[in-house]
Chains A and B, each alone.
Chain A
Amino acid sequence: MATGVFSEGRAKIAERTLRTDRWWLQPLITFGVLFSFIIYATWRAFENNYYFIEPLISPFYSPCLSQSCAPGSSLLGHLFPIIHIWGMTFSPALFILIFPLGFRMTCYYYRKAYYRSFWMSPPACAVAEPHSKYTGETRAPLILQNAHRWFFYAGLVFNVLLTIDAVLAFRDKHNNWGHMSVGTLVLLANATFLWFYSLSCHTCRHTVGGRLRNFSKHPMRYKAWTVVSKLNHYHQQFAWISLVGVWLTDIYVREVATHAISNWYFF
């Protein structure tokens, strides 16, 4: 039975949409970029190599928690034993990537992005979606989107660790302090972008003050809420910048680790 814009009683118009602009462009770009990132990230997560070269560590592998980690890369020790599956060593990235991945998957911005571009639900505003049924986020698995806050908390821990990574990068190859390289800047920028992304998050906004009924009784939290609200305005931008940031940071570390380029030191 016809549903949606072709339902009984609605104006009889044959087109799925009468939009004349290039409404498909935005979802296409989003799809392209996100899909490329997924391919790259998957490959890198399984590559299990070139993620650490003193003093730099790739954000894909930090914190490195497996006994298989490259020597010196494990800031928090070795929580997991070496596991072999089908003759391959289980990559340490796979122990941790669920957290940043989960944070982004359940993020209120990315949800919009992938529901539109991957799921086409809807592909663009006022463009009929191809699905005959829709239940939104009311049942499994999408009801798990409600776990966003837990991934947000985990994301904060990661931000701390990646910030420490950036601080550790103020060393030279021999772990002497007081040096700074392009890699230091790259790691610093990455951590900064991630902080902006996390702090501008809708859950963060809710937690610091959004859940209150009366701001006037909590002036400090109101202040915090105002600041986070301002950041929240740019959450989409921070989401993209930080994603590209992580991507480029990993590429940089890998390039240095494979000795394709050298990490240039300022001092």
Chain B
Amino acid sequence: MARTLKLRIWRGDDTNGALQDVTVDANPGEVVLDIIHRVQATQMGDLAVRWNCKAGKCGSCSMEINGRPRLACMTQVSAYGEDETITITPLRAFPVIKDLVTDVSFNYKKAMEIPSVEMPADLKPGEARMQQVDVERSQEFRKCIECFLCQDTCHVIRDHEENKKSFAGPRFFIRIAELDMHPLDMLRNRKKQAQEEHGLGMCNITKCCTEVCPEHIRITDNAIIPMKERVVDTKYDPIRWLGSKILKREDLIQN
């Protein structure tokens, strides 16, 4: 029941490259990553591709398949028509290294810029008490497998290289939200930082990040928009600001 598959695979490096036509067999139930491996083993021994778990858990095999950012291990070949040519390219928001492998170091730099969790100074290991309802929101964001598909699809940096210095991207907005909603985190200026240093205001909530997330994290609805609202609490709500001064309740703007 094998079928013959027509592929176009982008091959090249940071100086040059082109789509190359390949014909390869595919078995029922196979995913695009299986096909790439077959091409590698039989036709292009030096075809560069990143992958690890092949189970949608590590987020390594991010690439663009027919123009859409996807995990190759989670893309069933059967989703494409019999006569369809499948086009496979590297992520287009990051510099390419070789073939399907891109330089994603941007993301690790951004991770370094987000202050880590700050637990209460007097809390001893084993004494932390948190309720399930209080950790659930942050737990959703900790499902992130760092495939960086959201970063790749986000037009703020995909379409504007110059924004990379001032914009952390969806992956790191959920990180900030995770910490801002962490029941024990002590750092209180995450909202302000999100807006002023990490470019939360650049996001125009067009939701492409949510659409591509293989973990189905509701990035926009559950992290970015709540953070935007929290930013309004701190920065753009005069009544709340006045209330915090009059009632001497800092928590009205910094919970």
Contact = CB atoms under 8 A, between A and B. Distances in A.
A/B touching: CB–CB < 8 A: yes
A112 interface: yes
Interface in A113-132: 115-116, 121-122, 125-129, 131
Contact of B159 (A15, A129, A213): A129
Given A11-B96, A149-B232, 8 more contacts: A10-B93, A12-B12, A17-B67, A20-B84, A128-B155, A134-B159, A136-B156, A232-B221
B201 A138 contact: yes
A71 interface: no
Contacts of B131: 214-216
A211 interface: yes
Interface in B146-178: 152-153, 155-156, 158-163
A208 to B, nearest CB: 11
Contacts of A111: 204-205
B17 interface: yes
Interface residues of A, number: 54
Contact of B229 (A122, A138, A211): A211
A83 interface: no
Nearest to A131: B159
Nearest to A23: B67
B159 A108 contact: no
Contacts of A135: 202
A117 to B, nearest CB: 10
B78 interface: no
A147 interface: yes
9 contacts: A10-B96, A12-B12, A21-B66, A108-B225, A112-B206, A125-B208, A137-B201, A137-B204, A214-B134
A18 interface: yes
A58 interface: no
B205 A108 contact: yes
Contacts, number: 163
B19 to A, nearest CB: 8
Complex A-B, nearest 4 residue pairs according to Cβ-Cβ distance, in ascending order: A18-B67, A19-B67, A136-B202, A9-B95
Nearest to A20: B66
A20 B230 contact: no
**Interface size bracket, B side:** 35 or more
Nearest to B195: A138
Interface of A: 3-5, 7, 9-13, 15, 17-21, 108, 111-112, 115-116, 121-122, 125-129, 131, 133-138, 142-143, 146-149, 202-203, 205-206, 210-216, 222, 232-233
Contact of A125 (B12, B19, B163, B211): B211
A4 B229 contact: no
B158 A11 contact: no
Contacts of A19: 66-68
Contacts of B18: 12
Interface string B196-208: 0001011111111
Contact of B87 (A18, A21, A205): A18
B159 A4 contact: yes
Nearest to A139: B201
A34 to B, nearest CB: 15
B233 interface: yes
Contacts of B68: 19, 125-126
B243 interface: no
A4 B161 contact: yes
Contacts of B103: 9
A225 to B, nearest CB: 10
Contacts of A216: 131, 133-134
B155 A129 contact: yes
